[in-house]
């Protein structure tokens, strides 16, 4: 990518400019090309108009959540739970001098299932759904692939520059408002001051006005930037450092993705965790997960190359949908939610 400054980019770390994230219109990006050109190359992309049919695009605003969910307690961060209406008041009152709360720990399937029909039909780029496979060990299984809600106001931000755990890719779709998304490539990790105790999180606390005395190497890092607008999705490949901040009150959803491209890293990372408990357990996990990766790759291949056979066999569809064509709206099905037809 060329090193041209983005015209509307704010002055970035160390006075350098951000580079624009590559952006493609959904109409020009069939799913297969998305897989070949971005997922398999671990290359980020913003897909504009990735989602056009979600009821959420018409319904979801901070005010909608306040009215619909009232005083229902919701997890906002790792530590904080608060009534939804109070949270929304904080979002709307937020500004640069008095930043309000930023919601980033609300998993829809577990905590707000009523909202799931609003994100159907599913984002066609947020596949395959290995996290949702019934063959995934319960510890890592996430119905719907870890779908979570992100809400914040002007002046708030996602709390930390980080890369996602479990070697996962992420697809983050903007539903309401505008949000600035910033990324750094994995090879810039040494310039980003990883927390020694939590190596996927940076110690740099303010990317917009970074303390370059404390974090001088940041000035050498390559920073990519995009502004997401409703319907846009950013694909965040595994191990890419990223963070976000709303430019207006903003609502988005995030989904993590595992597939053949990042599976080996997922196995390594989860087995390294298991190794802290027992070598035997780690070994058994590795054998199981490596075999499961092979099975899921075969299933995904079958669905892609011999879709009729896959449909006839049914089981492969159940094991892990590789694309929206095979998904049958599992988010709704698992919850026995009736998907509105009008």
Ligand X SMILES: O=C(O)CCC(=O)C(=O)O
Residues that bind ligand X (CB under 6 A): 104, 150, 158, 164, 172, 242, 244, 252, 254
Least separation in angstroms between residue 328's CB and ligand X is 26
Least separation in angstroms between residue 225's CB and ligand X is 13
Residue 95: half-sphere exposure toward Cβ, Cα within 13 Å: 2
Q: Measured from the CB atom, is 234 or 292 closer to ligand X?
A: 234
Return the structure tokens found at 169: 């890719």
Question: Cα(148)–Cα(163) distance, rounded to whole angstroms?
Answer: 16
Backbone angles phi, psi at 47, to 5 degrees: -110, 115
Q: Measured from the CB atom, is 265 or 307 closer to ligand X?
A: 265
Least separation in angstroms between residue 24's CB and ligand X is 19
Q: Which residue has the tokens 């006075």?
A: 15
Q: Measured from the CB atom, is 151 or 289 closer to ligand X?
A: 151
Cβ 69 vs Cβ 115: under 8 Å: no
- Strand ranges of the sheet holding 19-20, from the earlier edge strand across to the other edge: 19-20, 224-228, 179-184, 241-246
Least separation in angstroms between residue 241's CB and ligand X is 10
Least separation in angstroms between residue 240's CB and ligand X is 10
Q: Measured from the CB atom, is 177 or 321 closer to ligand X?
A: 177
Question: What is the CA 245 to chain-centroid distance, rounded?
Answer: 14
Backbone angles phi, psi at 172, to 5 degrees: -115, 120
Q: Measured from the CB atom, is 236 or 332 closer to ligand X?
A: 236
Q: Measured from the CB atom, is 253 or 317 closer to ligand X?
A: 253
Least separation in angstroms between residue 93's CB and ligand X is 19
Least separation in angstroms between residue 168's CB and ligand X is 9
Q: Measured from the CB atom, is 150 or 221 closer to ligand X?
A: 150
Cβ 274 vs Cβ 200: under 8 Å: no
Angle among Cα 243, 186, 103 to the nearest 5 degrees reads: 20
In the bound complex, which residue of the shown chain has the CB atom lying closest to ligand X?
A: 244
Least separation in angstroms between residue 312's CB and ligand X is 38
Question: Cα(75)–Cα(110) distance, rounded to whole angstroms?
Answer: 11
Name 292's Cβ contacts closer than 8 Å, sequence gap at least 6. Answer: 133, 135, 136
Question: Cα(321)–Cα(327) distance, rounded to whole angstroms?
Answer: 5
Name 138's Cβ contacts closer than 8 Å, sequence gap at least 6. Answer: none
Q: Measured from the CB atom, is 108 or 254 closer to ligand X?
A: 254
Bond from prior residue into 128 cis (ω within 30 degrees of 0): yes
* β partners of residue 82: 74
């Amino acid at each position: 990518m060329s090193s041209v400054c983005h015209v509307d980019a704010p002055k970035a770390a160390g006075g350098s400019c951000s580079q624009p994230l590559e952006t493609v219109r959904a109409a020009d990006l069939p799913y297969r090309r998305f897989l070949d050109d971005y997922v398999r190359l671990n290359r980020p992309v913003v897909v504009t108009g990735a989602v056009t049919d979600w009821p959420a695009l018409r319904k979801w605003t901070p005010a909608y959540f306040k009215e619909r969910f009232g005083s229902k307690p919701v997890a906002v961060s790792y530590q904080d739970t608060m009534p939804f209406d109070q949270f929304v008041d904080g979002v709307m009152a937020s500004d640069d001098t008095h930043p309000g709360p930023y919601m980033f720990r609300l998993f829809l399937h577990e905590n707000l299932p009523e909202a799931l029909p609003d994100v159907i039909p599913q984002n066609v780029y947020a596949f395959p759904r290995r996290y949702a496979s019934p063959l995934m060990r319960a510890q890592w299984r996430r119905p719907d692939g870890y779908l979570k809600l992100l809400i914040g106001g002007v002046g708030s931000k996602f709390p930390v520059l980080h890369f996602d755990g479990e070697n996962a890719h992420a697809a983050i779709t903007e539903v309401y408002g505008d949000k600035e998304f910033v990324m750094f490539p994995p090879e810039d990790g040494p310039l980003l001051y990883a927390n020694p105790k939590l190596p996927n999180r940076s110690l740099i606390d303010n990317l917009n006005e970074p303390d370059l005395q404390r974090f001088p190497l940041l000035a050498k890092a390559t920073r990519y930037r995009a502004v997401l607008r409703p319907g846009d999705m950013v694909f965040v490949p595994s191990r890419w450092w990223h963070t976000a901040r709303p430019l207006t009150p903003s609502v988005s959803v995030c989904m993590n993705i595992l597939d053949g491209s990042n599976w080996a890293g997922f196995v390594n990372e989860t087995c390294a965790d298991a190794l802290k408990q027992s070598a035997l357990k780690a070994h058994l996990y590795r054998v199981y997960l490596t075999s499961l990766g092979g099975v899921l790759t075969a299933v995904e291949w079958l669905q892609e190359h011999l879709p009729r056979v896959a449909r006839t066999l049914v089981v492969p569809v159940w094991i892990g949908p590789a694309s929206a064509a095979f998904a049958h709206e599992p988010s709704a099905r698992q919850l026995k939610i009736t998907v509105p037809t009008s």
